[in-house]
Structures are given as C-alpha cells and as structure tokens.
Amino acid sequence: QVQLVESGGGSVQPGGSLRLSCAASKNLFSINVMGWYRQAPGKERQLVADLLIGGTTNYADSVKGRFTISTDNAKNTAYLQMNKMEVDDTAVYYCMVTVGRFTYWGQGTQVTVSS
C-alpha cells in the first residue's frame, strides 16, 4: 500500500508558474512508474507526464517544453514544475505511482489558470 499526498495547487494567471509536490509513503526506489495526470471538467483523466524506473520521461504534447517532472528520492517526493501556464491547464491534478502490478492515486489538487 502506498499513500500519496499532493500539494502546491492553486490559482495562477496565464504565463505564470506553479510547482506541484507528491509525497509518497514508500521509498521511490521501489516504484516502477511515477506520474502526474489531470482531469478537466467534463473530460477524461489524461497523462501529463511520467517518469519510469530507468529514468525515461514522457510528456503530453500539450505540456512539452513547459512542464518538468522530477523526483527527490531522499524525500520520497515527486514534483511537477509548471511554467508558461495556459488556461487549458486548468484541471484537478493527480499523482500516480505503480508498484509491481498495483497502481495508487493521490487525492488530487486543483489548479486554476485564469486572468
């Protein structure tokens, strides 16, 4: 069992930045995949970025060059740095980890981009 606690959401103007954090209750070295997803009102949950055990990162086309996923293994924490934010980035952001054949989700944190 892995508990995930997200933080860092909030409101920002277009062009601004936010950093989301995801604190895991388990050592990150045992995690196969760690990622961030988002779900906008009326839309399906979509991958934003993920980080695989070998270090490979994947990003949605809409966030490439603007968002960066990273981890701090000493703190068992993953981050999503979001720069040059756009109105379409507004969503609830969820942290996700895969350990073996199990997938765990955080509770979500709201991100709103508006002028």
Beta bridge partners of 71: 78
3 state DSSP class of 88:
helix
Instruction: Specify the pLDDT at position 31.
Output: 84
More confident call, 100 vs 30 = 100
C-alpha distances (whole Å) from 56 to each of 37, 43, 46, 70 are 17, 27, 18, 11
The pLDDT score that the predictor gives to residue 100 is 87
Report whether 20 contacts 93 (CB < 8 A).
Answer: yes
Computed over every residue of the chain, the mean pLDDT equals 94
Res. 7: pLDDT tops 90: yes
* pLDDT single digits (tens) 33-71: 999 999 999 999 999 999 998 889 999 999 999 999 999
Residue 29 has pLDDT above 80, yes or no: no
pLDDT of residue 79: 96
